Structure 1
Amino acid sequence: MRRILARWTAFYGANPLHLLALLACLALAGYAALLVSSDPLAVRMLLWFLAALIGHDLVLFPLYALADRSLSGLLSRLPRARTATRPTVSPLNYLRIPALGSGLLLLVFLPGIVRQGAVTYLDATGLTQEPFLARWLLLTGTMFGVSAVLYAIRLGAARRTGPRPAD
Structure 2
Amino acid sequence: MALSQPVLSFLRPLGPPNPSSFRHLLRFSTASRSRLEASTSPLSTPATAASISSTPSPTQSRDADIAAAEAATDADNPTSPIPSSKALPSKRFPSPASQTQKELRFHVARTPSNFLPVYKDAKAGGNKHLTTVRKISGDATQLKDELSELLALPKGHAFINPVTGHVVVKGWYKDQIVKYLESKNF
TM range (shorter): under 0.3
Greater relative contact order (Cα < 8 A, sep 6+): 1
Q: Which structure: greater helix fraction?
A: 1
Q: TM-score, normalised by structure 2?
A: 0.24
Larger radius of gyration: 2
Q: Which structure: greater strand fraction?
A: 2
Q: TM-score, normalised by structure 1?
A: 0.26
